[in-house]
Amino acid sequence: MSRLATLISTWFGCGYFPVAPGTVGSLAAVLMAAAAHQYLGSGRITFLAATLVLLGPAIWSATETARLLKREDPGLVVVDEVLGVWVTLLGATALNWKAFTAAFVLFRIFDIWKPWPVRRLEDLPEGTGIIADDLAAGVYAAIMLYIGGLLKLY
């Protein structure tokens, strides 16, 4: 089971990237969403459903990987970034290259900055804390993405 947990938590190896694995995981999430939109016609409902379906396995795999590595929030766990990006895309008023780019940038800003109460969510136990702060960062980023859409910035 530890192999499956590591596979999910590193988002199929993205977390092993030697520099900025969270950024790589975020980029993978955006590219997957853009491809799903382009080739399958996926939109916000799909991103929401994917987030909800992956939430349980993400928390479990983040917990297992953190225990395996004996670290609270290992940098190679990037499934949290994947969910955060998909939450960010829920705020998109249109889905085009500008929206996907803005979602990526906004999510990374809020994920790194961690404004109140995002940082406090890291204190939740194990995988719940690992995942929760990125979901909250995604909500902040989604709000900004939505406002940007209303202002016709993309």
pLDDT the model gives residue 1: 78
Average pLDDT, integer, range 116-124? 95
Confidence of residue 105 (pLDDT cuts 50, 70, 90): very high
pLDDT the model gives residue 70: 96
Confidence of residue 63 (pLDDT cuts 50, 70, 90): very high
Q: Are 40 and 26 in contact (CB under 8 A)?
A: no
- Alpha carbon distance 100, 31 (integer Å): 8
Whether 59 has a pLDDT exceeding 90, the answer reads: yes
- Domain range annotation of the chain: 2-10+20-150
